[in-house]
Structure 1
Amino acid sequence: MSRDPAKKAVGYKAPPEDSRFKKGQSGNPSGKPRRAKNGAAVDEREAVLGRMVTTRINGKVVRITARRALYEKAVDMAFKGDMRALALLLKFDRMSDSDAASGPAEQNTAEEEALIARYLARKANDAGGGGE
């Protein structure tokens, strides 16, 4: 018995050529989908904060993104003396500075510290109440 040299052997760990997986084709095209990574959470957050909302700014009804509405609210609260809102805004500002990898971030931090010190000193002097 002679073997045909053009045909490869078929057997254990050597399936027939026509039934092997094809290059570039998935072995299970309709199988279980892959699990979403952390990108899905970012996408959901972007979907929520990126949607348009109707709000009132300086007495005008405007349509802005939810993210901008939250920033506007935090700014208003900070100007009314809410120290947590001020700290949150400064934290967001530092984060955006570090994301942009800008050099003057350290200078901004020193300026912010001076601003906070002046604000706290003024707040301590006006502790009795009153308005601005």
Structure 2
Amino acid sequence: MPKRKGSADYEVGYKKPPKHSRFKKGRSGNPRGRPKGSRNFSTDLKATLEQGVRVTEGGKPKTVSTQLATLLRLREKALAGDGRALDRLIDLARLYNNEEMTEAAKLGAGDAAILESFTARQLRRAGIAAQEPEAESGKTEALETDPELDTAPKQKPKDSIADAEDEDAWLR
């Protein structure tokens, strides 16, 4: 490597900057730094969504937050037949509503049976006693159970993992 003028035994190269261009001791490499009072994106977004907007609803003007105005516009588009707006509104409703799904949105009988079977199998594997589901007629159906797993959890043989994978093969 070439030596620079004024550096007797210092070789300039990879990860070895010239001494005159290094940061001086006690001096910051970013002297101005982040300006005081500057906000991050999350803070700016929250402030923007909280700002008031004038909206005409039912022929009367009123002031609502930007967030609410956006949701109202999404609702208008969905009701006007915009499929993307409807999908987005339904996704938001699913995500933020804590209520049970309506009767129309519940799983079909076949899907519910698959889900119950899967849940029961997972509970059996974990060694947790599964409760018997009640059929629509009011009778209880017994789950298919393995007598070994109905007792306290035991150490399973090593090949049981392969059996469990085979049992889930129909899901793939």
TM band (smaller chain): 0.3 to 0.5
Larger Rg: 2
TM-score (norm 2): 0.36
